[in-house]
Structure 1
């Protein structure tokens, strides 16, 4: 049985707690946050604290706070030579204070408090600075996920950057699409099967092979018609940028002049 203490009470911390609580191989011995109000519903399941000096001993301490707070919180921990890991996709393990053994437990997923997550399907990217800590962190990861990978800091940073494109930027495109449909009284829900099929296709095809649409086939009439329909200049700029990017990827024979013309039109 691996004992853990969770430090932080944001979205990632809440989902980690639920995953650990459901595991037969992990016990959450304590949960810390400066403000424990959001953790009150779990008061009967786990020991809560808002006092770092009251932290109890555990096998692994998991810092699940904002990136900017990781270093400062790790410096305030009142112990040494214990395994402390953070959950960030972009912060170095060296940001954890060197008085403790350091590592990463990065769940590669988007987390919203109200959304249900099957943690067994969440990829866990792990890294430790000391070889002796790797097996224990791997065992912890495998207790809640079927997809645990050793990932170094450079690889993790690239995955985090790519995740911004496939998740954060894509979700913003969904929001724009929602605004476009609402402006004409169309139902955004009618796009949801398309959204799912787009995501499903790249499970079997490369994104390059899965690409379709007017930009790929250089359908100039449709592209111009779409641009005329867009009243929001920001949306128009995004459409032009994405169109030029797709055409540059799938039609390298296009001249630079033609690509620049698309951006200007």
Structure 2
């Protein structure tokens, strides 16, 4: 049973995950961060020991969760000591073989966007797992089910494709919100007016495929509205190009025969 845990990292995911594990009665022994103040801040929340020294990482824990940025992952893994427990990383876009220097290793990828300031309901967060051995996979699945109602075993290619899809669905859509916010602010309108629309758009995916739920001038082929919008963007060539490309892409989906709703 994986009960004694070392957190490598102190960012958004490490903070949310660490607090969730403690609430479920698991023991976070230690928090490592390259910045000692960050390690101490999270360790205080989790009643754990803080360190910024790789040589001080305890080697006899059951599970080591490496929750650092993708850019820092390889260097972090290379500097970690050889440990007895299972080592997992939480990166969606990187393979499991980065951990090959350890005897037992795998992936523990909570599929959600995280912020330190907003608590996430882990029961609703899918956790994607992968491991180098069947017995490790079983241990990780049992562990993951302590904090989430959805645990999915998938290989590195599947997980990376999921991560790619997530960039479109989450990161790019959020940037569209930022563009909308800027347009509204320039015209002294609060972004609050968008929130019911955003909620309904997301809610419809519970019942319809995104293609079938598509609305707007592009899917209707409403050239008059599209041209009017482009004229409104005549002082921002980059945004006008983006609007045109997205409109053409939406129309192309419809031409492939996918059913739309108005």
Q: How does 1:203-222 map to 2 (within 5 A)?
A: 203-222=206-225
Aligned counterparts of 2:98 and 2:72: Cα–Cα separation in 1: 10
TM-score, normalisation: structure 2: 0.91
Deviating more after overlay: 169-178 vs 37-46:
37-46
Aligned counterparts of 1:140 and 1:107: Cα–Cα separation in 2: 13
Which of these residues, 238, 243, 246, is aligned with residue 242 of structure 1? Answer: 246
- Could you tell me how far 1:14 is from its partner in structure 2? 0.9
Contact 1:108–1:122 at 8 Å: present in 2 too? yes
Aligned counterparts of 2:216 and 2:129: Cα–Cα separation in 1: 38
Aligned counterparts of 1:252 and 1:125: Cα–Cα separation in 2: 32
Dislocated runs of 4+, deviation >6 Å: none
Q: How does 1:130-141 map to 2 (within 5 A)?
A: 130-141=133-144
The answer for the alignment partner of 1:154 in structure 2 is: 157
What does the per-residue CA deviation read over 1:54-101, in whole Å, with 9 as the maximum and x for residues that have no partner? Answer: 222211111111112222222222224531100000111111242332
Contact 1:70–1:96 at 8 Å: present in 2 too? no
Aligned counterparts of 1:182 and 1:72: Cα–Cα separation in 2: 42
- Could you tell me how far 1:184 is from its partner in structure 2? 1.4
Which of these residues, 116, 120, 125, is aligned with residue 123 of structure 2? Answer: 120
Q: Aligned with 1:240: secondary structure?
A: helix
The answer for the alignment partner of 1:3 in structure 2 is: 4
The question of 1:77 aligning with 2:80 is answered: yes
Aligned counterparts of 2:252 and 2:48: Cα–Cα separation in 1: 54
Q: Which runs of 5+ in 1 are unaligned?
A: 254-265
Deviating more after overlay: 63-72 vs 147-156:
63-72
Aligned counterparts of 1:50 and 1:135: Cα–Cα separation in 2: 31
Aligned counterparts of 2:147 and 2:92: Cα–Cα separation in 1: 18
Q: Which runs of 5+ in 2 are unaligned?
A: 258-262
What does the per-residue CA deviation read over 1:211-258, in whole Å, with 9 as the maximum and x for residues that have no partner? Answer: 0111001001001001111132121111101100011111348xxxxx
Contact 1:71–1:97 at 8 Å: present in 2 too? no
Q: How does 1:221-260 map to 2 (within 5 A)?
A: 221-230=224-233, 231-252=235-256
TM-score, normalisation: structure 1: 0.90
The question of 1:30 aligning with 2:30 is answered: yes
Q: Aligned with 1:210: secondary structure?
A: coil
Q: Aligned with 2:119: secondary structure?
A: coil
The answer for the alignment partner of 1:261 in structure 2 is: none
Contact 1:3–1:59 at 8 Å: present in 2 too? yes
Q: Aligned with 2:211: secondary structure?
A: helix
The answer for the alignment partner of 2:52 in structure 1 is: 50
Contact 1:216–1:251 at 8 Å: present in 2 too? no
Contact 1:74–1:97 at 8 Å: present in 2 too? no
The answer for the alignment partner of 2:13 in structure 1 is: 12
Give the total of aligned pairs.
252
